[in-house]
Amino acid sequence: MAAKRRIRVTINGQIYEHEVEPRLLLIDYLRDVAGLLGTHYGCDTTSCGACTIIVDGRSAKSCTRFAVQADGQEILTVEGLACDGRLHPIQEAFWEHHALQCGFCTSGMLMSAYFLLSKNPNPTDADIKQGLAGNLCRCTGYLPIVAAVRSAAEKLTTKGRKP
Question: Which residues ranging from 57 to 86 are in contact with other proteins (CB under 8 A)?
Answer: 58-61, 63-66, 68-69, 71, 77-79, 81-82
CA distances from 157 to 77, 118, 122 (A): 22, 11, 8
d(CA 17, CA 113): 29
Which residues are bridge partners to 99 per DSSP?
none
Instruction: Select 15 or 91, whichever has its Cβ closest to other proteins.
Output: 91
Min dist CB 100 to other proteins, Å, is 6
Our finding on whether 94 is near other proteins (CB under 8 A) is yes
Strands 52-55 and 58-61, by their bridges, are antiparallel
Residues 134-163 close enough to bind other proteins by CB under 8 A: 134-146
Please give the order of strands across the beta sheet that includes 74-76. Answer: 14-20, 5-11, 74-76, 52-55, 58-61
CB of 158 to other proteins, least distance (A): 20
Would you give the binding string for other proteins spanning residues 99-138, x where CB under 8 A is met? -xxxxxxxx--x-x--xx------------xxxxxxxxxx
Residues 29-48 binding other proteins (CB under 8 A) are 31, 36-48
Residue 42 CB-density burial (10 A; 0-12 exposed, 13-18 middle, 19+ buried): middle
**Interface pick for other proteins out of 11, 91, 113, 123 (rule CB under 8 A):** 91
Judged by CB under 8 A, does residue 49 bind other proteins? yes
